[in-house]
């Protein structure tokens, strides 16, 4: 039983990271019908940007450490946000009128370009984040939960709630939803489609960058390839949740984290990916629109 609870805690932690990244895949798909394969690498670049700020930091004075962490999160999210907008403008915008397959191939190209660039810049080895997160435990009985874990999960949930509020409560958010339903009609209604698309890329990439820095702080080890597997799993979550559906992406992200944790625990770590992608195939066969699909799959 305690094992089960610990798997649950492990899985929730992994899942919140996946959920944050899955939101970006889902949002971009919502407005552009594009699977942004470079999204995992935007996450990775954000993680390195955060590390650049934290390099040389030591956990001597708590106040400066907190400031450094805030600076790292800010740097990671902004670098990723700008990168996302840049990718959209440079690589995707010229292809918007081309067949969808060109856009998809363009996205894969951007993904490889980012990975290889960071690989060359970092000599391909892995980099360690400084140990700045406190290791104190909230629960240290048979089931262990650290304060860092709680803070990270709450921060991620807060970001998700903020995104939900933005989409449902603001004019720009409403415009995003309108665009997702029918981009031509939205244009006719006077919505500045290009600006809304760029906003979508910016917000999605900011979330990925923030997740990247949180990931680095929590696991303390990153490399140029870290976005590939994480991105693939987050993409799985986005599809499982009903791609284009925000709530679906968040819930399915956490679900995939739990599947990974339980699969590694009860079967074998070697089989985790087989099971995760097996779940994806099963979901696609049984519920082609994803778990939260219905017809809402077409909306943001």
- Binding residues for another protein, per CB under 8 A? 3, 6-7, 10-11, 13-14, 108, 112, 119, 123-126, 128, 131, 135, 137, 140, 144, 146, 215, 219-221, 223, 225-226, 229-230, 260-266, 268-270, 272-273
**Paired sense of beta strands 127-128 and 137-140, if any:** unpaired
CB closer to another protein, 54 vs 226: 226
Q: How far is the CB of 233 from another protein (least distance, A)?
A: 10
DSSP SS3 for 201? helix
Structure tokens at 196: 């809304």
Measured from the CB of residue 108, what is the shortest distance to another protein in angstroms? 6
Q: Cβ closer to another protein: 109 or 162?
A: 109
Q: How far is the CB of 288 from another protein (least distance, A)?
A: 23
Question: Do 208 and 80 touch, CB atoms closer than 8 A?
Answer: yes
Q: What whole-number distance in Å separates Cα of residue 160 and Cα of residue 21? A: 11
CB of 50 to another protein, least distance (A): 15
Q: CB of residue 199 vs another protein: minimum separation in angstroms? A: 30
Shortest distance (Å) from residue 243 CB to another protein: 20
- Of 119 and 172, which has the nearer Cβ to another protein? 119
241 CB-contact burial (10 Å; exposed 0-12 / middle 13-18 / buried 19+): buried
C-beta closer to another protein: residue 144 or 187 = 144
Rounded Cα distance, 4 and 102, in Å = 45
CB closer to another protein out of 183 and 223: 223
**Alpha-carbon gap, residue 246 to 26, rounded angstroms:** 7
Shortest Å distance, C-beta 56 to another protein: 13
Q: How close are the terminal C-alpha atoms of the chain, in Å?
A: 39
47 vs 80 by CB, closer to another protein? 47
List residues bridging with 146 in a β-sheet: 137
Instruction: Tell how strand 144-146 and strand 127-128 pair up.
Output: unpaired
Residues 211, 46 contacting (CB under 8 angstroms)? yes
Which residue intervals of the chain are DSSP H helices? 2-32, 39-54, 62-87, 100-121, 147-169, 171-181, 183-188, 193-219, 226-240, 246-262, 272-286
Quick one: 185 or 274, whose CB is closer to another protein?
274
- For the bound state, the minimum distance from the C-beta of residue 47 to another protein, rounded and expressed in Å, comes to 11
What SS3 state is found at 100? helix
Residues facing 137 on adjacent strands: 146
The first and second tokens of residue 112, run together, are 């490889």
For another protein, which is the closer residue by CB, 125 or 190? 125
């Amino acid at each position: 039983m305690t094992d089960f609870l610990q798997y649950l805690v492990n899985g929730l932690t992994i899942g919140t990271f996946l959920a944050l990244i899955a939101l970006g895949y889902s949002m971009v798909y919502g407005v552009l019908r594009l699977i942004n394969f470079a999204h995992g690498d935007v996450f990775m670049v954000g993680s390195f940007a955060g590390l650049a700020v934290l390099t040389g930091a030591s956990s001597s004075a708590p106040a400066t450490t907190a400031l450094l962490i805030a600076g790292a999160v800010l740097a990671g999210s902004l670098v990723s946000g700008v990168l996302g907008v840049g990718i959209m403008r440079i690589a995707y915008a010229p292809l918007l009128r081309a067949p969808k397959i060109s856009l998809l191939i363009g996205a894969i190209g951007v993904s490889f370009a980012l990975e290889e660039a960071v690989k060359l810049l970092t000599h391909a080895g892995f980099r360690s984040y400084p140990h700045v997160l406190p290791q104190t435990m909230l629960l240290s009985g048979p089931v262990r939960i650290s304060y860092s874990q709680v803070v990270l999960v709450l921060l991620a949930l807060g970001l998700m709630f903020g995104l939900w509020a933005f989409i449902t409560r603001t004019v720009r958010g409403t415009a995003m939803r309108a665009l997702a339903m029918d981009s031509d009609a939205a244009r006719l209604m006077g919505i500045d489609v290009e600006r809304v698309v760029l906003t979508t890329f910016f917000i999605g990439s900011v979330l990925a960058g923030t997740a990247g820095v949180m990931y680095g702080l929590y696991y303390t080890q990153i490399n140029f390839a870290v976005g590939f597997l994480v991105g693939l799993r987050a993409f799985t979550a986005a599809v499982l949740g009903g791609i284009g559906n925000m709530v679906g992406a968040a819930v399915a992200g956490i679900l995939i984290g739990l599947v990974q944790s339980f699969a590694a625990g009860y079967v074998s770590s070697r089989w985790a990916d087989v099971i995760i992608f097996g779940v994806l195939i099963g979901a696609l066969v049984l519920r082609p629109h994803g778990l939260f699909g219905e017809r809402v799959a077409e909306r943001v």
